[in-house]
Structure 1
Amino acid sequence: MRSFAEKFHHLGKWLPLSVIVIVTIIASVNKQLIGLIAQPVKVEFGLSDTQLGGMFSIVGVVVAIISPLLGQMADRIDRHKFLLGSILIWSVATASYGVAAGYLTLVISVVVIASAETSLGPISNSIIADRYRQGTRINANLVYFAAGGLTTGVGSFLGGVLLHQSADNLTSITSFWQGASDWRVAMVVTGLFGIPLALLTLVLGKDRHQANRSKSLTDLSDLKAYWQDHWKTLISFNVSNAGFFIAASATMGWVPIYLVRHFGISPAELGMRMGLVIGLADLLGVLFGFVAIKKFYHFLGPIAPRYIFQFSLCGVALLYIPLLAAETVWVVLIIFGVQNFLATFGTASFNNMLQDMSSPGVRGKIFGINMLIVSLVGIPGPLVVGALSDYFGQEPQSLLWAIFIVSVPMLLLSALLYGLTNKIYLQTIKAIKILEQD
């Protein structure tokens, strides 16, 4: 029987992952709130759909610029301190969104929020890749991805609850805060969440594992050397994913706005309904996704998750057709939920694929590059949908058609490119495994 100290040591190994999971879930609330309150923000500030979409596209530009820097920082400085600083920054920015006086303040606040939250990607994945090995790392990735999969649902639900509570207590709040509204109060309260969240990171102490990196891995730490050997894989992987992320940015940002605009549902009620539907869909997507990967990996090898992703891309694209004909909020939410299930099902091993195709010393940089590409390809989606919506007219159905026109071709393009680039991806995985065994 293991001693108490041995048991405590075993549990302590999972402390970094536990903190990462909590931070990931709580950080999702402000992101989902911004989407839920987009329609009342548009009305209060008199914004056009093009301005609204442009705000999110500007975020993509800034995040794209700083993503490589964030990846570099995740490989060079104490990741635990980096995480603490990022939390404090996005918390202040979230509260500033709630007291915004104009469009410029909104844009600056959203840019800072997104920039700080983007650091979670390279920090979290680098910590997991360093702290957990082989089968343990697969389990750690499963837990981390499950947390990420729950962020939309949990964030939407908690955002809806916050909006509901803010509306109920608005009378007493306006007695000392003139001009307060439910969405402003909810954003300020969400910003305050960052204080205990930042304190939570202090239990991790110094990132000693990063500081004590083995010198034998020096030859694996050179991004230039990695690029020379595997540039085709890096480019093809990110280009293949581009269509998916364009569709995701166009759909996730605008469908909540469509629901509020078309059906007149309040953002608070929408958040709670969407949180339940999307949360369940994403949870099932994680579970079934990992079951499918383990099942098909036995027969197909490391190519299995890519085939699964191709299948899910085609399924998501086909579901836009019944979405156009949906006549009630619940029908839209159910179809939207099935789309999220398929997307989560398909991307369940996405982080693992990136970790497998990158050597230990450059993983933070590779994730930074990936975020750069994701941010860049996410720029046109919201802006093009907004511009098309303004062009077609302000009817809610025009907005839905704009989402369809942008998303469906991009999803099918990603599915095609994945099939064309499987061979070079497998070649890189084989080469990396040989290096790690030497």
Structure 2
Amino acid sequence: MTRPLSKLLGTAQAPPRSATGYVLWLLFVGNLLNFYDRALPSVVLEPIKDEFGLDDTRVGILASAFVLVAAAAGVPLGRLADRIPRAKVAGWGLFAWSAFTAAGALLPGFWGFFASRVGVGVGESSYGPATGSLLSDLYPSERRSRANSLFMLGFPIGTLLAFLTAGGLAVAFDSWRAPFLAAAVPGVVVALLVLRIREPERGAAEPVPGAGPGRENRAASLRSLLKVRSLYGMLVAFAGYNFAAYAVGTFLTPVLQRWYGLDLVAAGAVGGVVVGLTGLVGLLAGGRVLDRAARTSPAARTRVATACLAGAAVFSLIGLAADQGSLWQLVVFLSLGYMLGIVYLAAAVPVVSDVIGPEQRSGALGLMFAVGYLLGGAGGPVLVGALSDALAAGSASDAASAHGLQTAMTITVPLAFAVAAVGMLLTARSVQADRDSMLAREATA
């Protein structure tokens, strides 16, 4: 008989009414829908591009529309989650982005679709900061990477499902809009369940006296967050990782179609393997390894994440540099790079939770997501698209378009993973001191 998820992970203190395993499972499902909805435009990008007459630069801008809004909304929504129940912020955000996903299939014209993606960005910007803080109160530091890796399985599984189903739905209904309507229904149902979560007290999992139930909320200013030195390295790492992940998520299907000649359904299946199955393996294995390292020290966890990001830079370069006759090289080595890179996601929230007090975590995570989305999530698709068009300038041929996009990806994705590795290395130098300072403040508050 399978043991309950909460026993597999362990908890410091269970939430008062909702079972720990149930909360983690429900938040995971919401995160799965989060990334499913995010991935939909990428999977059916070529039909969207043809209908609206877009070049790669405008495709990048379209892909970044919701990310830019998420960056702007992340900080205030994160701070809001430091003041009101986090389940309310996450639940209403889920409801909002599901409604806007459906609107993307119904609103006419390019600007209608653009506006719907902006609305999706507002809704999704609330989810990560609120749920990251909530999970940190369900599990102690040495268990958080594994819990967060299970939560973040929503990324590869949601992306995989999008790659495997969106193309088929578009073909079956002869419209790229069909997947957007189908995605909205489960989102509304899960949002209603998230709104009913009864969450734990803030600080319930911290190993200091007075950090548990009954503490007065002391949400602090943004200025105080910026005094935490290791947070700067995390901002660099999150921006670098998001640049690489969003560039791959946006343009992998077009690369497979243009450079390797695959049709929409086949490209979706191959893309699902690269960013879905390998991400699943990376998070499951990475969570265990990171928590094992965290039992030694918080710095050990960040060093493991640094090594994984450095490996991602090397393997993604080998994969993306494959010529047109070596699809196997792209699949094998980009999959390895993506698998190593995604380990970072199992470390990001736990590292922030190690150095930021319970009353500030949603705001700190909102800041990290905002910077990561602005510089990475938005910058990745835009810069790759612009570089692709620049490399193909002067030629309207399909071959030039294919070579320009493949070259742009080969240059930018490995470099972004390398920047993320540098950020985590910087974090490792100060995370232990910041952890000690945070615990000392909490003990005397």
The residue aligned with 2:187 is: 194
1:40-59 correspondence runs (5 A): 40-59=47-66
**2:374 aligned to which of 373, 376, 379:** 376
The residue aligned with 2:4 is: none
1:291-337 CA-partner distances (Å, limit 9, x unpaired): 433444455x2211222222222222222134212435454233222
1:60-102 CA-partner distances (Å, limit 9, x unpaired): 3222211111101211223333233222211121112123422
The residue aligned with 2:434 is: 428
Evaluate the alpha carbon distance shift between residue 225 and residue 435 of structure 1 in structure 2; reply closer, same or farther with a 3 A threshold.
farther
TM-score by length of 2: 0.83
The residue aligned with 2:301 is: 305
CA distance in 2, matches of 1:376, 1:113: 15
The residue aligned with 1:177 is: none
In the comparison of the two structures, how many residue pairs are matched? 414
The residue aligned with 2:340 is: 342
1:231-259 CA-partner distances (Å, limit 9, x unpaired): 43323331344333323322322122211
Answer yes or no: is the 8 Å Cα contact 1:158–1:272 preserved in 2: no
CA distance in 1, matches of 2:64, 2:148: 27
CA distance in 2, matches of 1:11, 1:332: 44
CA distance in 1, matches of 2:245, 2:148: 20
CA distance in 2, matches of 1:224, 1:255: 37
Worse-superposed segment, 346-355 or 148-157: 148-157
Tell me whether 1:410 sits opposite 2:416 in the alignment. yes
**What residue identity is the alignment partner of 1:164?**
G
Tell me whether 1:91 sits opposite 2:91 in the alignment. no
The residue aligned with 1:155 is: 159
CA distance in 2, matches of 1:158, 1:408: 24
Answer yes or no: is the 8 Å Cα contact 1:45–1:103 preserved in 2: yes
1:168-317 correspondence runs (5 A): 168=172, 170=173, 181-204=174-197, 207=199, 209=201, 216-218=215-217, 221-223=219-221, 226-227=224-225, 230-297=227-294, 301-317=297-313
Evaluate the alpha carbon distance shift between residue 10 and residue 154 of structure 1 in structure 2; reply closer, same or farther with a 3 A threshold.
same
CA distance in 2, matches of 1:24, 1:308: 25
Evaluate the alpha carbon distance shift between residue 256 and residue 363 of structure 1 in structure 2; reply closer, same or farther with a 3 A threshold.
same
**What residue identity is the alignment partner of 2:354?**
D
**What residue identity is the alignment partner of 1:376?**
L
**What residue identity is the alignment partner of 1:47?**
L
1:214: how far off? 5.3
Answer yes or no: is the 8 Å Cα contact 1:217–1:360 preserved in 2: no
Evaluate the alpha carbon distance shift between residue 343 and residue 81 of structure 1 in structure 2; reply closer, same or farther with a 3 A threshold.
same
The residue aligned with 1:115 is: 122
The residue aligned with 2:395 is: none
**1:65 aligned to which of 62, 68, 72:** 72
**What residue identity is the alignment partner of 1:72?**
R
**What residue identity is the alignment partner of 2:389?**
D
Evaluate the alpha carbon distance shift between residue 14 and residue 409 of structure 1 in structure 2; reply closer, same or farther with a 3 A threshold.
closer
Evaluate the alpha carbon distance shift between residue 37 and residue 422 of structure 1 in structure 2; reply closer, same or farther with a 3 A threshold.
same
Evaluate the alpha carbon distance shift between residue 50 and residue 73 of structure 1 in structure 2; reply closer, same or farther with a 3 A threshold.
same
Gaps of 5+ in 2: 1-6, 8-13, 205-211, 393-399
Q: SS of the residue aligned with 1:77?
A: coil
The residue aligned with 2:385 is: 386
What is the Cα-based RMSD across aligned positions, in Å? 2.9
Evaluate the alpha carbon distance shift between residue 435 and residue 410 of structure 1 in structure 2; reply closer, same or farther with a 3 A threshold.
same
1:265-304 CA-partner distances (Å, limit 9, x unpaired): 33333333433443331222123323433444455x2211
Worse-superposed segment, 422-431 or 273-282: 273-282
Answer yes or no: is the 8 Å Cα contact 2:44–2:166 preserved in 1: no
Answer yes or no: is the 8 Å Cα contact 1:238–1:373 preserved in 2: yes
CA distance in 2, matches of 1:227, 1:198: 30
1:370: how far off? 0.7
Gaps of 5+ in 1: 1-6, 171-180
Answer yes or no: is the 8 Å Cα contact 1:246–1:407 preserved in 2: yes
**1:14 aligned to which of 21, 25, 29:** 21
Counting aligned pairs with the same residue, the percent is 23
TM-score by length of 1: 0.85
Q: SS of the residue aligned with 1:433?
A: helix
Evaluate the alpha carbon distance shift between residue 118 and residue 434 of structure 1 in structure 2; reply closer, same or farther with a 3 A threshold.
same
Evaluate the alpha carbon distance shift between residue 60 and residue 287 of structure 1 in structure 2; reply closer, same or farther with a 3 A threshold.
closer
Answer yes or no: is the 8 Å Cα contact 2:299–2:432 preserved in 1: yes
CA distance in 2, matches of 1:419, 1:277: 26
Answer yes or no: is the 8 Å Cα contact 2:26–2:190 preserved in 1: no
1:36: how far off? 0.5
CA distance in 1, matches of 2:190, 2:222: 36
Q: SS of the residue aligned with 1:325?
A: coil
**What residue identity is the alignment partner of 1:282?**
G
Answer yes or no: is the 8 Å Cα contact 1:30–1:159 preserved in 2: no
1:341: how far off? 0.8
Higher helix share: 1
Evaluate the alpha carbon distance shift between residue 199 and residue 56 of structure 1 in structure 2; reply closer, same or farther with a 3 A threshold.
same
Evaluate the alpha carbon distance shift between residue 345 and residue 202 of structure 1 in structure 2; reply closer, same or farther with a 3 A threshold.
closer
CA distance in 2, matches of 1:240, 1:200: 33
The residue aligned with 1:145 is: 149
CA distance in 1, matches of 2:423, 2:34: 32
1:350-388 CA-partner distances (Å, limit 9, x unpaired): 210011110011011101111111112122221111111
Worse-superposed segment, 68-77 or 365-374: 68-77
CA distance in 1, matches of 2:312, 2:410: 11
1:147: how far off? 3.6
1:134: how far off? 5.1
Answer yes or no: is the 8 Å Cα contact 1:164–1:269 preserved in 2: no
Answer yes or no: is the 8 Å Cα contact 2:298–2:431 preserved in 1: no
Worse-superposed segment, 44-53 or 145-154: 145-154
